């Protein structure tokens, strides 16, 4: 038996044996990823040439037929597919790969961003921005594990997740797929996700993770996806790099560069990023995959390569291993090698990396998934329960004046429910396909269920799904019903579903120059509130929304983000007090677009001269979120010492008491501030957090361990140092000063 076919042989030997048998074309074929055949077929009729250039979700290959993809697979010149969304197609293509000369299995990649939600009949969890509001790293790992199992049950092996970008601009439509604005929180959630997805990368329920996008796309110049990022090396190294480095340290198998140029060099041809930093500094030994047509864009958009071939050459020599996606790659790269522009050993390096993971995942032994067993895993009761629990924990209560919430169903005769997101599967958010209605609980359904045992009547006034095209007559109708109701619930926000790519208001490639509510939504809220009846606003959205009027005028606001398929149940349980909310904001909510960028961990001089006419403070700060319980912090202490030579530790402890009448969970946050430093540092930096469950009346002493690395900074030469002097340690319920107790420690 050939060594590469022998499961008992060491993987390194199998890789070398196989590599030695491959032609140049087969090798380049392994670095070649294409969109699925059905994807191609389904888009044939709808994509124009301009769509094709700009669209980053759908593709066809002009001049080719879908069947050719099958032929190339048989020839062994396709290494991977993306956007294959059924098990049937995955197994079918895999069978063709098994017919190829060396029978190298395909690797199927998919954007399983919050569950394998891009595929029908999979569990859809909250998106990352909401998941991060749980500050629950174990939950992140748990969801990743379940997602990996559902993926493997569909013969998918690789997810383009986690997005570990630090989101700093609410105009950017992709905030929802990130873990928010704080590097430490992003790092902690992202690392657990990598670990959960990958396991040891040797089991039948393990998949490859992809830490993306390297880097700067989350602080685009004008808020639009893929626009230039001009970010100093200092900011890269202190804010944007750490989560990526941590993802690599956690063993992430793949990394994807970002669409944008960084300080003048496209990330896809950036040797400094892909080789010097990623491989040499961080020791990354997985493979780099390009993003959607971004190597081509080095030529046709950024203009730093005169031809597409030149772009391919630049990208490969800068560190690229796999091409997503397009038919010209194999021929062009083979030519570049034959003409001496690229050394074949450089291609061998990439192929080695890719094959190593195909062996580790066991694909040579088990190339197929079993259609008989697939639905035993996908959408199984345990996964559904986790999705619901994650939604419950991710929702943030922003305002609750006069204790309006939780609602007592018995007190109301007639409840008006209205708004674009009241009765729509849009609660699942970006990166989700349509799912069967019986697997989705809308907010209206959740509310109706919660009041079913009372005499309250729920009256629903539809506003359609489309915020851009709301009907004033429906707004008026809702205002009329509000006058006869005794409680109003308006479910507003943005529209994210991918199947309406050109009509949505939030998500990938869906950026805005404003962060208020789109269309007649604020008008709807104002008119309904004019009834004088208590009005609750529920927001469903994938980026912060500056709902200043509502914050000033309504008694209660709930931020539900994109809570997943059971989001409607979770929202209703919180409205009616079956669940006590505990989420805390993973991203600052600014008042308006004019406040951008407005992250909490800004430098000391940022508001030295505050804005005039309007406040400088955000609408709701990072880390903020209310509960139906009240929590009191006291007796902050710090014992121990930290030395500038990197030794020692400090135990920080605080008493937290639940002073309310309901059991609850508090997310206690620890921030530091370096009072004087050789280079400027943020006014606050999150360094630890704990979820603390407290029964009504209960009190606990909660401990954090401060270690030198948590006080460290980068000096002028980018060396990690702990500078002597005083640090303020702050512990409390949000990042705003009034919510924090403070104590000083001195580094000797």
Catalytic residues: 291
> Does 212 sit near ligand BGC (CB under 6 A)?
yes
Cβ closer to ligand BGC: 302 or 399? 302
> Does 465 sit near ligand BGC (CB under 6 A)?
no
124-183: contacts with ligand BGC (CB under 6 A): 160
- Sign of the dihedral defined by the CA atoms of residues 542, 543, 549, 552, in that order: positive
Cβ closer to ligand BGC: 174 or 687? 174
> Does 291 sit near ligand BGC (CB under 6 A)?
yes
- Chain centroid offset of residue 670 CA: 23
Cα gap 159→365, rounded to integer Å: 21
660-689: contacts with ligand BGC (CB under 6 A): none
CB of 207 to ligand BGC, least distance (A): 14
Tokens of 286: 């997985």
CA angle 260-265-270, nearest 5°?
Answer: 90
Cα gap 325→293, rounded to integer Å: 6
Give 3-state DSSP helix, strand, coil % of the chain, rounded to 5. 35, 20, 45
Cβ closer to ligand BGC: 192 or 291? 291
Residues 60-99, mask of contacts with ligand BGC (x by CB under 6 A):
----------------------x-----------------
Cβ closer to ligand BGC: 82 or 156? 82
What is the side-by-side order of every strand in the sheet holding 487-493?
A: 396-400, 556-559, 535-540, 487-493, 414-418, 457-461
CB of 177 to ligand BGC, least distance (A): 8
> Does 241 sit near ligand BGC (CB under 6 A)?
no
Tokens of 7: 């499961």
506-545: contacts with ligand BGC (CB under 6 A): none
| Residue closest to 535 by CA, chosen among 603, 574, 495, 478 | 478
DSSP 632: E
Quick one: angle between helices 329-338 and 344-360, nearest 10?
130
Residue from 89, 111, 309, 424 binding ligand BGC (CB under 6 A): 111
CB of 476 to ligand BGC, least distance (A): 40
Cβ closer to ligand BGC: 54 or 411? 54
CB of 479 to ligand BGC, least distance (A): 41
DSSP 311: H
Tokens of 12: 């390194």
Cβ closer to ligand BGC: 292 or 628? 292
CB of 518 to ligand BGC, least distance (A): 23
Cα gap 673→715, rounded to integer Å: 16
Cβ closer to ligand BGC: 56 or 227? 56
| Residue closest to 97 by CA, chosen among 323, 364, 327 | 364
Question: By rule CB under 6 A, what count of residues binds ligand BGC?
Answer: 7
Cα gap 41→64, rounded to integer Å: 11
Cβ closer to ligand BGC: 89 or 111? 111
| Residue closest to 129 by CA, chosen among 376, 394, 388 | 394
Beta carbons within 8 Å of 421's beta carbon, 6+ residues apart:
427, 443, 491, 492, 493, 538, 540
Beta carbons within 8 Å of 644's beta carbon, 6+ residues apart:
721, 722, 723, 724, 747, 748
CB of 163 to ligand BGC, least distance (A): 7
Strand partners, 262: 229, 265
SS3 92: helix
* Cis, peptide link before residue 234, omega less than 30° from 0: no
CB of 697 to ligand BGC, least distance (A): 47
CB of 215 to ligand BGC, least distance (A): 13
Cβ closer to ligand BGC: 254 or 356? 254
Cα gap 132→179, rounded to integer Å: 5
CB of 431 to ligand BGC, least distance (A): 9
Tokens of 707: 């270690």
Tokens of 79: 């290494």
Residue from 172, 241, 244, 292 binding ligand BGC (CB under 6 A): 292
30-59: contacts with ligand BGC (CB under 6 A): 56
- Binding site residues, ligand BGC, CB under 6 A: 56, 82, 111, 160, 212, 291-292
């Amino acid at each position: 038996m050939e060594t590469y076919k022998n499961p008992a042989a060491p993987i390194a030997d199998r890789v070398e044996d196989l590599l030695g048998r491959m032609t140049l074309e087969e090798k380049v074929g392994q670095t070649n990823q294409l969109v699925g055949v059905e994807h191609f077929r389904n888009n044939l009729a709808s994509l124009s040439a301009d769509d094709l250039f700009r669209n980053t979700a759908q593709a066809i290959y002009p001049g080719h037929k879908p069947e050719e993809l099958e032929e190339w697979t048989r020839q062994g010149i396709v290494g991977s597919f993306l956007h294959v969304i059924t098990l049937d197609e995955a197994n079918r293509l895999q069978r063709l790969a098994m017919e190829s000369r060396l029978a190298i299995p395909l690797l199927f990649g998919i954007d399983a961003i919050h569950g394998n939600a891009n595929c029908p009949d999979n569990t859809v969890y909250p998106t990352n921005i909401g998941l991060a509001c749980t500050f629950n790293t174990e939950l992140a790992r748990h969801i990743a594990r379940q997602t990996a199992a559902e993926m493997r049950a569909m013969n998918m092996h690789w997810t383009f997740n986690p997005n570990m970008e630090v989101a700093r601009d609410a105009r950017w439509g992709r905030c929802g797929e990130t873990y928010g604005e704080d590097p430490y929180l992003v790092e902690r959630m992202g690392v657990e996700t990598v670990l959960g997805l990958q396991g040891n990368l040797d089991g039948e329920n393990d998949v490859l993770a992809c830490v993306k996008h390297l880097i700067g796309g989350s602080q685009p110049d004008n808020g639009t996806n893929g626009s230039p990022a001009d970010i100093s090396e200092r900011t890269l190294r202190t804010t944007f790099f750490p989560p990526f480095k941590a993802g690599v340290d956690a063993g992430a198998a793949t990394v994807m560069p970002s669409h944008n140029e960084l300080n003048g060099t496209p990330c896809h041809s950036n040797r400094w990023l892909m080789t010097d930093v990623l491989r040499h500094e961080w020791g990354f030994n997985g493979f780099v995959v390009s993003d959607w047509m971004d190597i081509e864009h080095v030529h046709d958009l950024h203009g730093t390569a005169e031809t597409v071939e030149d772009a391919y050459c630049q990208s490969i020599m800068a560190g690229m291993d796999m091409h997503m996606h397009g038919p010209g790659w194999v021929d062009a790269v083979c030519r570049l090698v034959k003409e001496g522009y690229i050394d074949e050993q450089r291609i061998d390096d990439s192929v080695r990396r890719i094959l190593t993971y195909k062996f580790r995942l066991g694909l040579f032994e088990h190339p197929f998934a079993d259609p008989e067993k697939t639905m035993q895993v996908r959408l199984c009761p345990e996964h559904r329960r986790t999705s619901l629990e994650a939604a419950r924990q991710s929702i943030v209560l922003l305002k609750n004046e006069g204790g309006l919430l939780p609602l007592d169903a018995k007190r109301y005769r007639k409840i008006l429910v209205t708004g674009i997101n009241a009765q729509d599967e849009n609660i699942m958010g970006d990166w989700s396909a349509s799912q069967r209605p019986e697997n989705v609980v809308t907010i209206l359904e959740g509310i109706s269920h919660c009041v079913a045992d009372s005499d309250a009547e729920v009256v629903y006034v539809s506003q359609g799904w489309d915020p851009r095209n709301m009907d004033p007559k429906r707004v008026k109708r809702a205002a009329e019903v509000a006058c006869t109701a005794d409680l109003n619930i308006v479910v507003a926000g943005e529209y994210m579903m991918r199947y309406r790519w050109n009509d949505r208001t939030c998500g990938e490639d869906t950026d805005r120059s404003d962060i208020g509510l789109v269309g007649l939504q604020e008008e709807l809220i104002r008119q309904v509130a004019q009834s004088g009846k208590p009005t609750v606003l529920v927001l469903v959205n994938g980026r912060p929304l500056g709902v200043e009027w509502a914050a000033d005028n309504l008694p209660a606001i709930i931020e539900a983000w994109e809570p997943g398929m059971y989001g409607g149940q979770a929202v209703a349980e919180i409205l009616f007090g079956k669940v006590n909310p505990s989420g805390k904001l993973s991203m600052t909510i600014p008042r308006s677009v004019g406040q951008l960028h407005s992250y909490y961990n800004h430098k000391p001089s940022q508001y030295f001269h505050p804005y005039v006419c309007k406040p400088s403070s955000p609408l709701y700060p990072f880390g903020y979120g209310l509960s139906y319980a009240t929590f009191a912090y006291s007796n902050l202490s710090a014992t121990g010492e930290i030395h500038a030579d990197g030794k020692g530790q400090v135990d920080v402890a605080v008493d937290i008491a639940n002073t309310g009448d309901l059991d609850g969970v508090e997310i206690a946050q620890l921030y530091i501030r370096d009072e004087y430093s050789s280079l400027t540092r943020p006014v606050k930096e999150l360094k630890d957090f704990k979820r603390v469950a407290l029964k009504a009346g209960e009190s606990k002493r909660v401990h954090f361990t401060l270690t030198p690395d948590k006080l460290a900074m980068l000096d002028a030469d980018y060396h990690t140092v702990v500078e002597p002097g005083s640090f303020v340690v702050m512990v409390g319920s949000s990042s705003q000063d009034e919510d924090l107790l403070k104590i000083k420690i001195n580094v000797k």
